[in-house]
């Protein structure tokens, strides 16, 4: 029988490898060494301000409720203009959603549902909650004029206001006729008596009453200007233009803003209820600086009286009709100088400041109107 030398060799190799492994196995750990020296402690950090302490400077229930209640009494909220917010050309100023989108992207949109102003219409989120926290605005840079080509208004924080509080059209929108024209219109109801009494129909215009309708042909030679709408004028709120002295039939000197940083410096007086969110200017605050040099109240009274006299003269020539609810332009063909008086009057009436937004320019427009009307 043959011997299996290969099997013997295999067993020997296994024995040798096992012995080698057992010889290289790690032994037990030695005793622990002494502890090292402790590291140096770091310096203590500065304690932060309690978040509630910062936020509650403004965001107390009492303060926020008072602001909301005050804002709710203002025409920014109560006015009837919100119906215009669903119009694409009006939504940026006549809807909260429309204004927010315009401030964000510059796009004018028609709001799906038109809503009045709320806090978030004008106020954006805080950029940070570090020192110097204030009420963040939906800031817009310098505002391009909608009415005056190339004009730009920069009133600092007041740019937010100037975005909407500016004219939508200039006098040239109406005064652009280059040849004689006639325009036919009909009037019914109460308008018949108004136009029969004061209608400005031009040198060769005609007026004929048939049954319950008044048929009028307005004659407009090149010496005249035709008012083609009962909403004629610069549009409601040309305050930025009065500041800039560019909306009347003549330009003037812009308002000196050296000590008037923006609209809020007068219209958001924090001493008033609701942190000034009724936007009523505090004349006492103005007088702190002007003192006896300028009695704003008296100046306003003088300008208001002059506007009243001009308004009466314009109504007598058929340029406007004054009713309990305000001034209404009339369809009219007027000599250019008298039409200019109408336009300048409308600019000041729509501004609603009785001259405060630019006393010098207001007096310039009033002087021109009075001369044209023989006052």
Q: Does the pLDDT value for residue 22 go beyond 60?
A: no
State the chain's mean pLDDT as an integer: 86
Q: Does the pLDDT value for residue 223 go beyond 60?
A: yes
Check residue 1 and give its pLDDT.
Answer: 46
The neighbouring-strand residues paired with 185 are 216
Q: How large is the average pLDDT for residues 182-207?
A: 96
Q: How large is the average pLDDT for residues 335-360?
A: 96
In angstroms, the CA 244 to CA 154 distance is: 10
Residue 111, C-beta contacts closer than 8 angstroms, at least 6 positions apart: 85, 86, 91, 95, 96, 97, 98
More confident residue, 61 or 10: 61
Q: How large is the average pLDDT for residues 202-210?
A: 97
What's the token pair of residue 370?
A: 């009075």
Q: Does the pLDDT value for residue 261 go beyond 70?
A: no
Q: How large is the average pLDDT for residues 257-278?
A: 76
What's the chain's Rg over C-alpha atoms? Answer: 38
Residue 278: which of 86, 76, 100, 122 has the closest Cα?
Answer: 76
**How far apart, in Å, do the first and last CA atoms of the chain sit?**
151
Share of the chain above pLDDT 90, in %: 50
In angstroms, the CA 298 to CA 304 distance is: 10
Q: How confident is the model at residue 51 (pLDDT cuts 50, 70, 90)?
A: low
Three-class HEC string of the chain: CCCCHHHHHHHHHHHHHHHHHHHHCCCCCCCCCCCCCCCCCCCCCCCCCCHHHHHCCCCCHHHHHHHHHHHCCCHHHHCHHHHHHHCCCCHHHHCHHHHHHHHHHCCCCCCCCCCCCCHHHHECCCCCCCCCCCCCECCCCCEECCCCCCCEECCHHHHHHHCCCCCCCCHHHCCCCCCCEEEEEEECCCHHHHHHHHCCECCCCEEEEECCEEEEEEEECCCEEEECCCCCCCCCCCHHHHHHCCCCCCCCCCCCCCCCCCCHHHHCCCCCHHHHCCCCCCHHHHHHHHHHHCCHHHHHHHHHHHHHHHHHHHHHCCCEEEECCEEEECCEEEEHHHHHHHHHHHHHHHHCCCCCCCHHHHHHHHHHHHHHHCC
In angstroms, the CA 172 to CA 341 distance is: 14
Check residue 25 and give its pLDDT.
Answer: 58
In angstroms, the CA 169 to CA 231 distance is: 12
Check residue 8 and give its pLDDT.
Answer: 55
Q: How large is the average pLDDT for residues 13-34?
A: 63
Domain coordinates in residue numbering, the chain: 171-238+248-375
- Model confidence pLDDT, tens digit, residues 102-155: 988 888 898 888 888 889 999 988 877 766 677 888 877 899 999 999 999 988
> 344 and 241 in contact (C-beta within 8 Å)?
no
In angstroms, the CA 253 to CA 245 distance is: 6
Cα-Cα-Cα-Cα dihedral sign, residues 195, 198, 201, 204:
positive
Q: Would you call 39 exposed, middle or buried from its count of C-beta atoms within 10 A (0-12, 13-18, 19+)?
A: exposed
Q: Does the pLDDT value for residue 71 go beyond 70?
A: yes
Most confident stretch, 179-183, 279-283, 296-300: 179-183
In angstroms, the CA 327 to CA 350 distance is: 10
Q: How large is the average pLDDT for residues 239-244?
A: 94
What's the token pair of residue 247?
A: 């909306």
> 96 and 121 in contact (C-beta within 8 Å)?
yes
In angstroms, the CA 229 to CA 249 distance is: 18
In angstroms, the CA 267 to CA 249 distance is: 28
Place of tokens 């963040």: 136
Rounded to two decimals, what is the model's pTM?
0.82
Q: How large is the average pLDDT for residues 330-357?
A: 96
């Amino acid at each position: 029988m043959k011997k299996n030398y290969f099997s013997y060799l295999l067993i020997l190799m296994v024995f040798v490898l096992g012995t080698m492994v057992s010889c290289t196995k790690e032994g037990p750990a030695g005793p622990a060494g002494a502890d090292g020296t402790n590291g140096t402690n770091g310096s203590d950090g500065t304690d932060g301000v309690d978040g509630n302490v910062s936020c509650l400077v403004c965001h107390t229930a009492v303060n926020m409720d008072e602001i909301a209640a005050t804002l709710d009494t203002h025409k920014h909220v109560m006015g009837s203009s919100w119906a215009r917010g669903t119009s694409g050309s009006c939504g940026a100023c006549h809807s909260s959603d429309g204004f927010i989108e315009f401030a964000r992207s510059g796009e004018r949109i028609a709001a799906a549902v038109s809503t009045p102003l709320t806090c978030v219409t004008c106020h954006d989120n805080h950029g940070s909650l570090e020192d110097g926290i204030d009420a963040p605005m939906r800031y817009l840079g310098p505002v391009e004029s909608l009415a005056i080509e190339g004009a730009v208004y920069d009133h600092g924080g007041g740019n937010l206001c100037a975005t909407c509080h500016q004219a939508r059209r200039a006098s040239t929108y109406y005064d652009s006729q280059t040849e004689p024209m006639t325009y036919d219109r009909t009037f019914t109801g109460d308008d018949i008596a108004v136009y029969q009494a004061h209608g400005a129909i031009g040198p060769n215009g005609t007026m004929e009453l048939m049954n319950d309708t008044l048929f009028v042909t307005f004659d407009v030679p090149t010496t005249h200007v035709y008012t083609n709408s009962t909403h004629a004028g610069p549009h409601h709120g040309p305050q930025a233009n009065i500041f800039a002295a560019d909306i009347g039939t003549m330009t003037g000197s812009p308002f000196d803003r050296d000590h008037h940083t923006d609209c809020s410096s007068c219209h958001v007086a924090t001493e008033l209820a609701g942190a000034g969110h009724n936007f009523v200017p505090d004349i006492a605050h103005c007088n702190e600086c002007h003192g006896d040099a300028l009695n704003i109240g008296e100046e306003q009274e003088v300008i208001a009286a002059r506007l009243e006299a001009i308004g009466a003269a314009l109504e007598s020539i058929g340029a406007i009709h004054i009713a309990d609810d305000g001034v209404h332009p009339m369809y009219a063909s007027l000599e250019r100088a008298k039409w200019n008086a109408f336009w300048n009057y409308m600019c000041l009436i729509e501004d609603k400041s009785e001259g405060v937004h630019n006393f010098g320019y207001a007096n310039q427009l009033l002087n021109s109107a009075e001369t044209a009307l023989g006052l």
